[in-house]
Structure 1
Amino acid sequence: MFAYVEILIRTVLAILLLLFIAKILGKQTISNMTFHDFVTGITLGAIAANLAFNEKLSLSHMILSLIVIAITSYLLSVIALKSRKMRNWISGSPTVLIESGKILEDNMRKVRYTLDSLDQALREKGIFNIEEVDYAVLEDNGEVSVLKKDEYQYVTKKDLKLHSNAQVFPIELIMDGKMMEKNLENNGLTKEWLEQEVKRKGKQISDVFYAARGTKKQLVFDFYEDGIHQTIDKE
């Protein structure tokens, strides 16, 4: 029985430590998987797994390993911020794959990137014809950034000389039937105003699953009872 309790405690401790370390290392660790982040993630995962389930290894030794890895990773991040040369070594650097519409075979060979991988990356960007591409860059997180040739780029409002309407950041007003009072206060809105808007829909605040003010200051409501009698369910 004690063994099960120990595993339970070690597992919870491993998760809490990983959450704490991820908080310290920052969001980049989970958003941009560079060489540094990839190695850090795998190492932390392996140590945390052993901390949770390997009873033969000392709990204190595993915690020490996690702390050392976290500190080392943090210091590498600081060094990468201070030195561009070290940053290229720690996190990697972008590689140009296509320049002026020409595929750079030597660069692709250096990073062992195949034409099949390039075609797939372009398709994921909605590009099925490689002649549309002016520049393509393999970023240090493995993503491919693409600049299309002028004739294949999308037309913008600026190109058409149209005046763009001012947009604002969307605001969540109600979630799970509860007012987001902090959001209302920070944006100069009142509870009375929101209640009045909900009443216009013939509803109460408790009937609203989600409500937000959109980028054009329009109100969007989603109610618990949507009036959909039969939903589409793909099996």
Structure 2
Amino acid sequence: MPGWLEIVVRALSAFVMLFIITRILGKKQISQLTFLEFIIGITLGELAGFLSTDVEAHFLHGVIALAVWFVVPLGLEFLMLKSKKLRQLIEGGGRVVIKEGKVLEDNMKKERLSADELLEQLRGKNVFNFADVEFAVMETNGELSVLLKKDKQPLTPSHLGIKTVNEVEPQTVIMDGKYMDEPLATLGLSRGWLHAELEKIGVTVENVFLGQVDAYQQIYVDLYDDKLKVPAPQAKALLLATLKKSQADLELFASATRSPEAKAMYERTSRELAGVISSLDPMLRG
């Protein structure tokens, strides 16, 4: 076999093996790495490189080395899932570097973290004043986890006593000008429904780069031509307006009728509808 062809075969084999190993070891290998994962990643890459280009070395020996560096970390991961002490020994643990707005210099020295690096990490979390921090922990992967003091945390609907509803993931039903049948089926919709919705806003599927439908069957589209304007979905706003109009009509009927029984019925129904509107308002205004 020619030398160049042997290198091609070795490189392709190393690529396939490294891809399979990385897939099995998990996504953490391509995210923020711990010490062990960092060592494993470097070693596997070096072994794959040597296996690809060192034609004088025995190919099987390289495969055995890759297998060892695959089996041992995989076994350690399973053991660490069952043993907290082993996780602590191999990966270490997080260390508090700020507590109640006070920087803990001794812990920073143990982490070999300078003041500039600490401030840089805080800015990465949109924190520009260390005194605003209740706790900051240096994690095992080198990331800084930050908890702001109560009075420095951003307002949320719960702070204001506003009820919210759980959002449901929108489904991408058009991509690159083509229908996506599986997401449509997930929503219980058809191409015919989607085609009719596109006609309402005056676009064709071929002109749509991306199209999504939310849980309320509102469609959002991004067109290839960015100069074209697409009207915003109005389904929720129209439903809220219809409900409020119905309640107003019931109150009008109650004031206009001469029958005590009908008046009581209209007023009762109006109150019940007002309760429904109150519970749906956060959803329909979102």
TM exceeding 0.5 = yes
- What are the Cα deviations for residues 171-222 of structure 1, in whole angstroms up to 9, with x where unaligned? 1111222222111112212121112222233333233221112477542212
Aligned partner of 1:98 in structure 2 is 98
1:22 maps to 22
Deviates more, 1:29-38 or 1:136-145: 29-38
- Helix, strand or coil at the partner of 1:44: helix
1:199–1:14 Cα change, 3 Å:
farther
Aligned residue number for residue 139 of structure 2: 139
Q: Which residue of 2 aligns with 1:48?
A: 48
* TM-score normalised over the length of structure 1: 0.89
- Report the counterpart of residue 84 of structure 1 in structure 2: 84
Higher Cα radius of gyration: 2
Gaps of 5+ in 1: 229-235
Residue 2 of structure 1: CA displacement?
2.2
The TM-score with structure 2 as length reference comes to: 0.74
Unaligned runs of 5+ in 2: 229-286
Task: Determine which structure has the larger helix proportion and give its number.
Answer: 2
Which structure ranks higher in relative contact order (CA pairs < 8 Å, sequence separation ≥ 6)?
1
| Secondary structure of the corresponding residue to residue 57 of structure 1 | coil
1:29 Cα deviation after fit: 2.2
Does residue 163 in structure 1 map to residue 163 in structure 2?
yes
Instruction: Give the distance between the partners of 1:51 and 1:147, measured in 2 at CA.
Output: 46
Between Structure 1 and Structure 2, how many residues are aligned?
A: 228
8 A contact 1:167–1:216 mirrored in 2 = no
Q: Which 10-residue stretch deviates more, 163-172 or 109-118?
A: 163-172
Q: For 1:18 and 1:216, how far apart are their aligned partners in 2? A: 44
Distance of 1:216 and 1:111 partners within structure 2: 49
Cα distance in structure 2, aligned partners of 1:217 and 1:54: 59
Question: AA paired with 2:157?
Answer: K
1:158-181 CA-to-partner distances (Å, cap 9, x unmatched) read 001112244211211112222221
Instruction: Give % identity.
Output: 38
Q: For 2:186 and 2:54, how far apart are their aligned partners in 1?
A: 49
Kept in 2, the 8 Å contact 1:166–1:216? The answer is no
Classify 1:19/1:217 alpha carbon distance in 2 versus 1 (closer, same or farther; 3 Å): farther
Query: Structure 1 141/90 Cα, relative in aligned 2: closer, same or farther at 3 Å?
Result: same
CA offset digits 1:2-37 (Å, max 9, x no partner): 222222222222222121111111112222311121
Tell me by how many angstroms 1:39 deviates: 1.1
* Matched residue type, 2:59: L
Q: Tell me the C-alpha RMSD between the 2 structures.
A: 1.9
Output the CA distance in 2 between the equivalents of 1:93 and 1:215. 41
Tell me what 1:154 maps to.
154
